[in-house]
Amino acid sequence: MNKERIQEDFLKLFPKGKFSFWKEIDSTQEAAANFPFDVPFLALAEKQREGIGRRERRWVSPVGGLWFTLSLPVKYVRRKKSISVLVGLAVKQALKKNLGLELKVKFPNDLLYNSMKLAGILVTAARFGKEIKKINIGVGMNVNNRAPLKTSVSLKEIMNKTMDAEEVLKIILTGIKEEICVK
């Protein structure tokens, strides 16, 4: 992955943001959870050892996929109600608009292509006392990796070509910003 390109694209979307990249990490969700609250933060890894899904399920996260968490201070988020559903719909719409993909959202957090799982989305809130301070949006997507389960699929398999993971990331982040963030 081209870290400089990713950082440049991220900072165009979130000029005050911070970006961290790991070759391998336990979980981008955990990295984002430990980041201060005041600016957007993108945690991205080539591989996760302990990717987290809903209900603490483990997500297989090999090299070739897209594994990231976007952490947004609440002041950046205009649509907080049903945010898990809204993020799934935003990612679905962005991929349709830019790649022509016809996906279904399996509520609350899976993106399916022909009933096969392409991506999982996990949205969590970080609180300080009773007050929500930031929203963490974790996305795990099979891009150029071999889909790890018989019930999953990768973008490479769908599109019949190697995909530009940095461009896919930019498409997703742009979709989330357009649909979820303060204008």
Residue type, 136: N
Q: Return all residues near 138 (Cβ < 8 A) that are at least 6 apart.
A: 28, 29, 32, 52, 68, 69, 121, 122, 123, 124
User: Using CA atoms, how far apart are residues 129 and 115, in angstroms rounded to an integer?
Assistant: 40
Query: Tens digits of per-residue pLDDT, 113-162?
Result: 999 999 999 998 888 788 888 999 999 999 999 887 899 999 999 999 99
Q: What is the CATH number of the domain that holds 30?
A: 3.30.930.10
CA–centroid distance for 172 within its chain? 7
Confidence band for 95, pLDDT divided at 50, 70 and 90: very high
User: Using CA atoms, how far apart are residues 98 and 175, in angstroms rounded to an integer?
Assistant: 10
Host domain of residue 9? 3-180
Q: Could you give the number of structural domains in the chain?
A: 1
pTM exceeds 0.85 for this model? yes
